[in-house]
Each structure stands twice: as structure tokens, then as C-alpha cells.
Amino acid sequence: MHPRHIYVHVPFCARRCSYCDFAISVRRVVPTDAYVDALVREVEIRYPDGDQWVADTLYLGGGTPSLLGAEGIALLLDRLRGRVTLSPDAEVTLEANPDDVEVEAVRAWREAGVNRLSVGAQSFDDRALAWMHRTHTASRIGTAIDAAHSGGIDNVSLDLIFALPEKLGRDWEADVLRALSLHPTHISLYGLTIEPATPLGRWRERGEVTEAPEERYEADFLRAHELLALAGFEHYEVSNYARAGLRSRHNSSYWSHVPYAGIGPAAHSFDGASRRWNVPAYAAWARELAGGCDPIAGSEVLTRENLASEQVYLGLRTIEGLLLEPEMDRQVHAWVTAGWAFVDVERVRLTPAGWLRLDALAASLTTAGSPS
């Protein structure tokens, strides 16, 4: 059985963001045809049987998939349909930078099958955007959302980054309220982290920047949660909020521990028992495929203990929570007392304050003994 959820990594970007350590390729001219040809070769090599492959979700992530433009996205989806049939109600998501979202492009994306946009807004503060090396301005975000709606895609998610350095003077609450004023169906919140091999990591080494203290990280997250809850958004996963019925179905597949396929540089796949990942660099990935080779960089078979630990972690990170087992009682009681969790219909679910401590809470539970 082929996975019913497919992720396609489009690695191209116009510029590397200051915080980004993803597998990207900065290109002035995007080699669309060569990339799509290589992508199709990967599908043919990985799944040579030619059996019908039906998918319920397709997610074009990156990188900046919208850099492929209207014709590039249409070409990619048309070529994929040579091997993949999208179910009638399939969710097809395209990640986009605000700069690329024009009415005519959206109409073309919609015609090609895209029905959901994930727009990388990050902030509505121009100084913060420049510091992050974003290519768009704050005013461009609203223009992009208007273009999405005019072009026929109403299911639009916005990404925002919180816990930026104090010296930027960014008003986090104003950013959240500005995002809400654009009427998105979904909002994702990500706390800024400093990775070593990034411009931001080098700035930290030189003493030019420090990470926000834990207290402000927590305050930003909880204030955003309060504002989004008041606006009617469901906090369904640690970083994600959605209007009723409009959760990200593709991302939810990851958190449900179901199989998914990853195609493209650095893409990961999971078949229910093992995980594999591709060569990260675009040039190396394309070279492997040109030689008729599977561009795999590594793989691992998950043990029973690995799978159990992942199920604990994935359960705790979603609103569905985790089935409460007798051996968890003492720890979970302590979490409830601290305000980090609550128990509902024999399931333990984390509060927003608990989600801030997700890694530590999941680790403590699996160390003490997780359900089989």
C-alpha cells in the first residue's frame, strides 16, 4: 500500500532567512524543468510497480515552492498525476512567500489543484522582517491574502515567529491582532530558535544577539494563545491553531503516526515501522537521480520502544492527548497540580503551559515506562 500522504520538498529560495537551517538552494533562476524531471524520476525509482497510488493530502513545502511560479506548479502537479491520483476531497497545500502571491498566479495554482496556501508572514514589523532576511514587507502580507481570496483560495494559513530579540522592538500582540484581521483559516506559531549553521548562529557567536529568556518565550506564547482562543481558533497542536474543521490534514498525518511519503531533497518518509531520508543538497540529490540511483541518505528501523516513545510524544503534542494508563497516574497528577495537563475521558491532555514543556514531559513519561 502506498502512503496516502505525500510531502514534496521544493528547495529553492531567493534568499536564506537569518534563522533558517533547512535544506535549501538559493537560486536567482530556478531550474524548474530539471527539478520536476528529477522529482518524477525519484517517484519511478522509489515506487517502480506502477500500481495506482491514491493520495488524500499533498503538501508542497520548502524552501519556497511558490518560486516555481504559476507554470512551474502546474507542471509539477501534472507530472505527479502521471503516478498519483488525488482523492476527490484531497487537501493540496502550497507554501508561499507573500511576494509570490498574485491573483493570476493563485488562479493558476487553483486550476492546477492547489486548494490551500500556507503563507510565511512571520511578522508585520518591517524592521523584524529585514532582520530575519525576509524578502517581503509587512504591507505585502495583506496584499497577498487579498490576492489569495480573489484568486479562489480561501483556505489560507499564516506563519508567525515569536520570541524575537527585545532590541528589535517588535510588538508581538500587535502582530497577532494584525494576522487575525486578515481572516486566515489557520495560524502556526513558532518560537525563534538559534541554530549554529545559520546567520543567526554566527551573530550569537559574535555576541550580537541572544535568545529571548524563557519567561518572555512563555509570555509570548500564552498571550497569542489567549488572543487566538478569543477569536474562535482551536489550539489543536502545540504550534497550530485552526478554525473549526480546517486543521491541516497533511500535518495531522505526521502527528497521527500514519505512513507518509517524502519526495525531494532532504525529504523524510515513514512506512509505519521505519523511517528514511533523502540526500539534503539539491545538486547531490539531482546527481543521484540522473545516475538512476535512489537518493537515500539514511534510514532506521524503529524498535518497539522507539515506536512507543514516539506515540507518547505525538499524543501529548495534540489536543487528542494520550490514553491514560495506570502507571502514569502519579506523574500525570503532578502535571495537573502544576497546571500543565488535565484528564478528560481517560485521556491526558496538555494545557498551553504544558505544551511549553512538551519535550521534558514526554521524556519523563517514557523514562518511567510508556504504554506498549
Mean pLDDT of 170-188: 98
Which tens digits make up the pLDDT trace of 4-63? 999 999 999 999 999 999 999 999 899 999 999 999 999 999 988 877 799 999 999 999
Place of cell 537560486: 27
From residue 170, give the alpha-carbon distance in Å to each of 188, 204, 284. Answer: 18, 19, 39
Is the same domain home to 308 and 244? Answer: no
**Backbone phi, then psi, for 152, in 5-degree steps?**
105, 10
Residue 277 lies in a domain: no
Tell me which of 193, 221, 255 is where a domain ends.
255
Residue 288 lies in a domain: no
Which tens digits make up the pLDDT trace of 79-137? 999 999 999 999 999 999 999 999 999 999 999 999 999 999 999 999 999 999 999 99
Residue 222 lies in a domain: yes
The whole-angstrom separation of Cα 227 and Cα 131 is 26
Chain-centroid distance of CA 296 in Å reads 22
Is the same domain home to 9 and 109? Answer: yes
Residue 335 lies in a domain: yes
366: pLDDT strictly greater than 90: no
Tell me which of 225, 240, 255 is where a domain ends.
255
Residue 285 lies in a domain: no
68: pLDDT strictly greater than 90: yes
Tell me which of 255, 276, 293 is where a domain ends.
255
Residue 67 lies in a domain: yes
**C-beta separation of 246 from 155 below 8 A:** yes
Is the same domain home to 198 and 308? Answer: no
Q: How confident is the model at residue 1 (pLDDT cuts 50, 70, 90)?
A: confident
Is the same domain home to 103 and 250? Answer: yes
Burial call 147-181: b when 16+ CB within 10 Å, e when fewer: bbeebebebbbbbbbbbbbeeeebebeebbebbbe
- Give the residue from 260, 285, 262 showing the smallest Cα distance to 271: 260
Residue 155 lies in a domain: yes
Is the same domain home to 326 and 247? Answer: no
Cis peptide before 63 (omega within 30 of 0): yes
Mean pLDDT of 160-165: 97
Mean pLDDT of 131-145: 97
pLDDT at 275: 96
Is the same domain home to 57 and 183? Answer: yes
371: pLDDT strictly greater than 80: no
pLDDT at 233: 98
Is the same domain home to 312 and 240? Answer: no
Q: Residue 75 maps to which CATH number?
A: 3.20.20.70
Q: How confident is the model at residue 367 (pLDDT cuts 50, 70, 90)?
A: confident
Q: Which residue range(s) make up the domain with 216? A: 5-255
pLDDT at 368: 55
Is the same domain home to 230 and 363? Answer: no
pTM value is 0.95
The whole-angstrom separation of Cα 202 and Cα 198 is 6
Residue 273 lies in a domain: no
Which tens digits make up the pLDDT trace of 190-208? 999 999 989 999 999 999 9
Is the same domain home to 23 and 169? Answer: yes
Of all helices (H) and strands (E), which one includes residue 58? strand 53-62
Span of 26-30, 98-102, 249-253, 283-287 with lowest mean pLDDT? 26-30
pLDDT at 337: 96
Is the same domain home to 58 and 143? Answer: yes
- Give the residue from 301, 319, 321, 297 showing the smallest Cα distance to 311: 321
**C-beta separation of 64 from 27 below 8 A:** no
Is the same domain home to 12 and 93? Answer: yes
Share of the chain above pLDDT 90, in %: 92
pLDDT at 28: 87
Is the same domain home to 97 and 207? Answer: yes
How many domains in the chain? 2
**C-beta separation of 319 from 346 below 8 A:** no
Beta bridge partners, 62, equal: 10
The whole-angstrom separation of Cα 279 and Cα 262 is 12
Q: What is the mean pLDDT of the chain?
A: 95
Strand order across the 186-191 sheet: 234-237, 240-242, 186-191, 156-162, 116-122, 84-96, 53-62, 5-10, 261-263
Record the cell numbers describing residue 271, joined without a space: 512506512
